[in-house]
Each structure stands twice: as structure tokens, then as C-alpha cells.
Amino acid sequence: MDTAGDIGAQFNLIGESSAFRHSVRAVERCGRTDATVLVQGETGTGKELVARAIHYLSARHAHPFVPLNSGALPDSLFENELFGHRRGAFTGATGDFPGVLKLAEGGTLFLDEVDSLPPKAQVSLLRFLQDRRYRPLGAQREQESNVRIVAAANCDLQQAIREGRFRADLYYRLKLVSIDLPPLRAREGDVWLLAEHFVRTCAERYSTSARKLHRSAVDWFGRYSWPGNVRELENLIHSEFLLSDSDEIRIAAPDGAGATRETRPTTSYADNELPAYAGAKARALEEFDRGYLAQLLAHTEGNITRASKVAGKERRALGKMIKRYNITVDRPARR
């Protein structure tokens, strides 16, 4: 019996495409186990929703689900946030502080943007995953943790390993079970289904009469690449719902809607130069990242804070990507 639809409705995982239903079935299977899970997918694809579904489908559902944004923590604070500290451990430590491992005891710790962890933090996490023991800063004794780890990454971790940005041993510790979430552009037919769902959600949230989307958006909805994925679609519907005075919501194509889906790779190769799949995929992803970041910064006039909100990505992690690809944009002159 296929229960993907029931689970999707229960945990707000909306979609009917075969690619998405495959991922939802994997969520159900992960919920039956207590294994460490790695959820991979582009920003805005719903990785935290999946992590929460795994937790609440598991035997740990009565215990805490604690999310931690790994990309938002500087290297010096990661161990303190993860393991906690004892009073007097360092200057300013005026009392005991329970780390997220203690807060999530018996439940699930969700490590979001694990691909953004700096090298020292990766070592600390790997050491914990090896024996599930840790010592709070300033403590004399180690503690044993009964916590399930679900991690999420926005990028291809295997490519990050090849580039020396992520430890291979940590990757294999995290990837005991893996779920790959498809981007919205690969979920045939789901865009309109999700859009209508978000309209209904907005109507309930603001206690308004039922509204519907004007069919004029169907064409570009299906052609647009949705770089921000489901989060971008949700934000667009939310904004247009609030601005519309009509029972029928008309949505014009947003800036960048000309970036339609390609039916074949944008990069072509001579027959005798065709690279392996992994190399070709990495190159295509890099081209996408560069193009999207350049367009994003042009749209926000170089404002990183605004760009991070548009992209649905944490500011520090977005800044790292911009620096990695050396993307610049001329800011408008002040008048």
C-alpha cells in the first residue's frame, strides 16, 4: 500500500510528482528506523519539513526535535552550542549552559546546512558521531548522548569532498541513510498544486474568503526555473495574496522569469571530451550557481542581507558562496 499521500498531507509535504513521492516514501522508511539520516537538496526544497516528519514518524516522537543552523555559527562557538559548558569554563561563563545535544536528549537533533561547517567543527562532530559521547566545556566527565542525528546539506557533498571543503569520513558517518529532495523544476505538475495550497493556507491564516489563482500564470509557472524552490513559490504567493484585492489573484512573472528550464545541459562537449557524469554535473551546478548569484546580486543591487532573504538562504552561507565564485556587482551611486 502506498502511504506517501497520507504522510505528505500529515506533514505538509505537498506533491504528486513521481520524483517527490519517491522522496516521501523514503521519509516513511526512515521513520521506522533510528539511523542517522542525511537529507540533501537545494535551498528551499523542504529539508527541515522532511527532518521533522522523520522525527515524528519515529519512536522518538514524544521527545524534543531541536534544529541547529550549522551555517549560522562561527567556528569558535560550534562546540559550545553543541556540547554546552560549565560555569567558569571561560570568561563570561557565569552559569551552566546545556548544549543542543542535552536539549534534544531522547529526541532528534537536526543539523541544517552541515556543508557550511568549518574544518574544526567537522572534527568535533565526527568525534561525537563515532561513540556518541561528549564533554561539555569545562566539565570533568564525559556524557553519553541518546540523540538521533538528521543532517541537511544544500550542496553536493561529494563535490565538496573533492574540493577539500568537507571531510569524507564525516560524510559517510552522516550518510547512513540518504534522502535526495528534487528541486521544484523537476517536480512535474507540482508547482500549480503547491501554489493553490499556499493560497488556501493564506486564506485560512488571514480569515478571508476563498480565492483562486488566475490561469494566466500557468504557462510561466511551468517554464520558470524556481531557483528558490518551494520557499520562493510560497513567498511569492503570500506576497501576491496580501496585495490582491480581487477574489482571483493574477501573478505576473517575477524578475528573472526568463531563466526557463533547459531541456538539455547548457554546456556542450565534443564527443571525445565528454566527461564522467559526476564531473559534468559538478560543472553544470557551478554554472547555475554563478548565473543565479550574479542575477540575485543585480536584482538586490549588491545588498547581501536582502539577497539572502530573496534566496531563502542564511546570510553567512550566501556570503561564502559569493566569495567562492568571486561574484561582484556595481552598487548604484548614492544621490
Q: What is the pLDDT of residues 10-46, one digit of tens each?
A: 898 999 999 999 999 999 999 999 999 999 999 999 9
pLDDT at 134 over 80: yes
- Name the residue ranges covered by the structural domains of the chain: 4-182, 188-249, 271-325
Q: What pLDDT, on a 0 to 100 scale, did the predictor assign at position 302? A: 81
Per-residue confidence at 271, pLDDT binned at 50, 70, 90?
A: very low
Report the CATH number of the 188-249 domain: 1.10.8.60
Selecting from 1.10.10, 3.90.660, 3.30.70, 1.10.620, what CATH number does the domain 271-325 have? 1.10.10
pLDDT at 282 over 80: no
Of 108-117, 133-142, 275-284, 304-313, the range with the highest mean pLDDT is 108-117
Span 201-213, pLDDT tens digits:
999 999 999 999 9
| HEC sequence for 136-192 | CECCCCCEECCCEEEEEECCCHHHHHHCCCCCHHHHHHHCCEEEECCCHHHCCCHHH
Q: Does domain 4-182 have CATH number 1.10.10.10?
A: no
Give mean pLDDT, residues 130-149.
94
- Strand ranges (DSSP E) for the chain? 37-40, 65-69, 84-85, 97-98, 108-112, 133-134, 143-144, 148-153, 177-180, 212-213, 248-249
Buried b or exposed e, range 236-253, using 16+ CB within 10 angstroms:
bbbebbeebeeeebebee
Asked if residues 61 and 90 have their Cβ atoms less than 8 Å apart, the reply is no
pLDDT at 228 over 50: yes
pLDDT at 263 over 50: no
Residue with the bigger pLDDT between 47 and 259: it is: 47
pLDDT at 193 over 60: yes
Average pLDDT across the chain, whole number? 86
